[in-house]
Structure 1
Amino acid sequence: MSAEAPPPYSTATARVLRLPEGAEVDDRLAVEEPLELRIEGKPVAVTMRTPGHDEELALGFALSEGLHPVAARLPEDLAANTIELDAPGFDPERLQRSFYTTSSCGVCGKGALEAVAVEAPPVESSLVVSAALVARLPDRLREAQAAFASTGGLHATGLFTAAGELVCAREDVGRHNAMDKVVGRAFLDGLLPLSDHVLCVSGRLSFELVQKAAVAGCPVVVAVGSPSSLAVELATDRGITLCGFVREGRVNVYTRTERVSA
């Protein structure tokens, strides 16, 4: 599939001076705006994101934080840039602070590994995929990145079947937001846990992305860039296969190598 034109709310126009030509032209930028997440009408989180698929983003974020959501919707007051989460049994005393995430790092401010509890059992899956299939996934994801093609300024996450077919792709200025949108979509479609699927991200593999993959129960995560040391540590602990530096036909398999056949 090829990327279609991006939604108009995901990009904006700015005047730019291009050097050394000296020409002033219009340039396309990725939109970044705050999204407030509420439970029972009370704010519990603010994230900077690219508008679009906000309900999916809210659900994915809540799942990764162990809030056990059942639905997400526009608030009754129809406040702009706000989503209401339905999370029965939510205990506000559980939150020792107000969540605040940014487009660059979903775990900023949490301070210690112990504070980022992964509420997910080890991933159980008999999935095995070929290295050739893994090597094709970043290009397939790239074909679905309409906003990136227009702006060059967004991250993406794609969900693929074991046969390499794209289930859904989402873009965002925040790599963790793109992952949350995909996980939220999978939740709405009844696909969780993702034991027979593969997640592919457009950049590097951070701890937070592996955390979200673990919550979603996904056994294989693929990235164009490298994993961090903490990402590898968490993947080892949760039984997730990490594939990094997937480009030009090459694949580095860092953990649970038995899931990737030569």
Structure 2
Amino acid sequence: MGRVTVRRKTTRLAAGRRIERVDTLVVEEPLELRVGGESLQVTMRTPGDDFDLATGFLLAEGVITKPSDVLSMRYCAGVDANGEQTYNLLDITLARGVEAPPKSARRNTTVTSACGVCGKDSLEDVRTKAAWAVAEDAAAVKAEVLASLPVRLREAQKIFDRTGGLHAAGLFTAEGDLLAVKEDVGRHNAVDKVLGQALREGRVPLRGTVLAVSGRASFELAQKAVMAGVPVLAAVSAPSSLAVELAEESGLTLAGFVRDDTMNLYTRPERIV
């Protein structure tokens, strides 16, 4: 498996002084996903949990809904200048009867760590029909529990403590119990890794859960939550207008600016008690 962090020399300027030191940086490398030997997308990600990332991506695209939909995953041959396996090419074989992703699901460009939906042909391509009705989920989350999740998410970020350069996504029960946490240079990758792990463990649909994310809540993150059956999405920062629109249409509770003891509830506020 590829490295998650690297050490690099740096010159720190502080109070007029120049200090030579070694800094720890998070690794960002491309990962190409292939389905049945055909390229699906290339995403810039932090190495690690690649099988979960691929599974979560396929779940969000509506290609798979259960673990048995994936027959196998394997890293393809690929070496760096030193002759070492790069682990940057992943080939996925779907089970018999599971349709491969349509052309609309295939990215026209490399998906950067700051970009989730980039390269889609149109907005309608990401309005994928969900397999579960999130609007019917009767989950109830105490306001104080929801308010505590960003701090707990931050405390669970082990690599962030060393690099300061990662997003995080955490899956919690309605009572606030942590089920999974993932870190990545891309917030959409972190979410895919969390939801992919949940599907691989047979937990999807994720009824009665909360997905907490660092940073903002984009349209794609809201879509991923809906496709996995998550009823509540909580973000440290602001949501986008399209994220709120999708949450309203699907019945997702969307909370933004969840900090300390305050938050903005944009949709389905009755779930927060």
Per the TM superposition, whether the score is higher than 0.5 is yes
Is the Cα contact below 8 Å between 2:31 and 2:90 reproduced in 1?
yes
The aligned amino acid for 1:194 is L
Query: Equivalent of 2:195, from 176, 183, 187?
Result: 183
Aligned to 2:178: 166
Q: How does 1:5-20 map to 2 (within 5 A)?
A: 9-20=3-14
Structure 1 residues 242 and 44: CA distance shift in structure 2, 3 A: same
Distance 1:130 1:98 in 2: 39
Superposition map of 1:1-262 within 5 A: 9-20=3-14, 21-68=17-64, 69-75=69-75, 77=77, 80-88=87-95, 89-91=98-100, 94-96=102-104, 98-99=106-107, 100-120=110-130, 121-123=132-134, 124-261=136-273
Q: What's the offset of the Cα at 1:165?
A: 0.7
CA gap of 1:28–1:227, structure 2 versus 1, over 3 A, is: same
Asked if the contact 1:244–1:251 (Cα under 8 Å) also holds between the matched residues in 2, the reply is: yes
- Superposed displacement of residue 111, structure 1: 4.9
* Unaligned segments of structure 2, at least 5 residues: 79-84
* Equivalent-residue separation in structure 2 for 1:234 and 1:118 (angstroms): 11
Tell which deviates more after alignment, 223-232 or 7-16.
Answer: 7-16
CA deviations on 1:231-256 (whole Å, 9 max, x unpaired) are 10000011000111111211211100
Cα distance in structure 2, aligned partners of 1:26 and 1:8: 21
RMSD of aligned alpha carbons: 1.9
- Is the Cα contact below 8 Å between 2:53 and 2:189 reproduced in 1? yes
Whether the 8 Å contact between 2:105 and 2:120 is mirrored in structure 1 is: no
State the alpha-carbon separation in 2 of the partners of residues 75 and 51 from structure 1: 13
State the identity %: 51
Shift of 1:71: 4.8
Q: 1:12 to 1:75 in 2, by over 3 A?
A: closer
**Pair 1:61–1:97, CA change in 2 (3 A):** closer
Superposed displacement of residue 195, structure 1: 1.0
1:4 aligns with none
Query: CA–CA distance in 2 between the matches of 1:138 and 1:191?
Result: 23
Give the drift of 1:70. Answer: 2.1
By how many angstroms is 1:90 displaced?
Answer: 3.0
TM-score (norm 1): 0.91
The answer for the alignment partner of 2:81 in structure 1 is none
User: Which residue type is aligned with residue 50 of structure 2?
Assistant: D
Go from structure 1 to structure 2 and tell me whether the alpha carbon gap of 1:101 and 1:246 turns closer, same or farther (over 3 Å shift). same
Answer yes or no: is the 8 Å Cα contact 2:31–2:45 preserved in 1: yes
